[in-house]
Amino acid sequence: MTSTLLTEDQQALVETTLDFAQDHLAPHALDWDRDKHFPVDVLRKAAGLGLGGVYVREESGGSGLTRSDGVLVFETLASGCPSLAGYLSIHNMVAWMIDRYGADAQRERWLPRLCAMEDLASYCLTEPGVGSDAAALTSRAVRDGDGWVLTGVKQFISGAGASQLYVVMARTGGEGADGVSAFVVDKDDAGLSFGPNERKMGWNAQPTRQVVLDGVRLPADRLLGREGDGFRIAMSGLNGGRIGIAACSLGGARSALDRSLAHLADREAFGRRLLDAQVLRFRLADMATELTAARALVQQAAQALDRGDPQAPYLCAMAKRFATDTGYSVADRALQLHGGYGYLSEYGIEKIVRDLRVHQILEGTNEIMRVIVARGLTEAFR
């Protein structure tokens, strides 16, 4: 990350976050991955730095940072552990949604504990039979007097079982996006249960489970925003979530690149350091160049969100696609540069590769990102 492009406040933010990542994440990341341990105590330490409510307004207990600040935070956190940085991005997405769309009483009720990470949050959109076509979701919320009864199953939910709050998208009306509403469900609500922790390729330091809604009765004040606004709320949350995950890819890949430089400087073959071989230097140069280009695109998308640019969803999709593809590619090449050592878990490279692979899938697959970008390109020709 080029410090000359940052303001003094942003540079201080990066330095503080980097200290946290190096002291509290990086030393334990391999053990957490191996043991499938979700270190909630460490997340609460991050909240002590203001990282539990990055985008939440200060009057609601948050840090009130911009999206441009946030992508710096998540890239830096991911240099210590992409899995936990990814969960923090999701938690912050949910907290922002409640701050942005919640009524005063809802913000006062939930945000102070979310910002302190005394309560964790999860985002519930995807279903077992409905992934990319999110507007076709089948979970349903039916009116019951002044309240609602929710029934359905959500799939691939990060933090499920550990989180206290779940922003759930459910159908309250007819087919399509206009029939979807958003609700806040509490872990202690009767009828809410969870599937087993999924066995995954990566992201093992955070739980991933089904969220099962079996006649969950909610009072009227659990509706987030207005009835029928759920899909719009979900998509606006994802704009920020996408560049958050993109930034996490940059941080993980940057760590892999730094490790490769150190490894090649330390190893010799055919009587000279590997780092002095021009072919390997060219590979490193390409990796660094691609990460710098991806970072610029992520920053551009973040700035568009900050200024309310109508092109922001298009730019966020472009940034998410490019940065997550680039991050995974750089990490994979870093593994190759380590030779057999890259395949050993103790070197940490294979964990980064496993963690970054899912970034090309979650928050909207990269195929869907291409759909969004193509739609933006061809809008004038409809």
Catalytic residues: 363
Alpha-carbon torsion 220, 225, 226, 229, what sign?
negative
Given the structure tokens 């004038």, which residue do they identify?
Answer: 380
CB 246 within 8 A of CB 324: yes
User: What is the full DSSP assignment across 327-371?
Assistant: HHHHHHHHHHHTGGGGGSGGGSHHHHHHHHHGGGTTTS-HHHHHH
Question: Measured between alpha carbons, how far is 91 from 340 in angstroms, rounded to an integer?
Answer: 36
CB 365 within 8 A of CB 132: yes
Q: What is the 3-state secondary structure (H, E, C) of 211-227?
A: EEEEEEEECHHHEECCC
**102 Rama sector, left if φ>0, alpha if ψ -120 to 50, beta otherwise:** beta
Question: Measured between alpha carbons, how far is 64 from 62 in angstroms, rounded to an integer?
Answer: 6
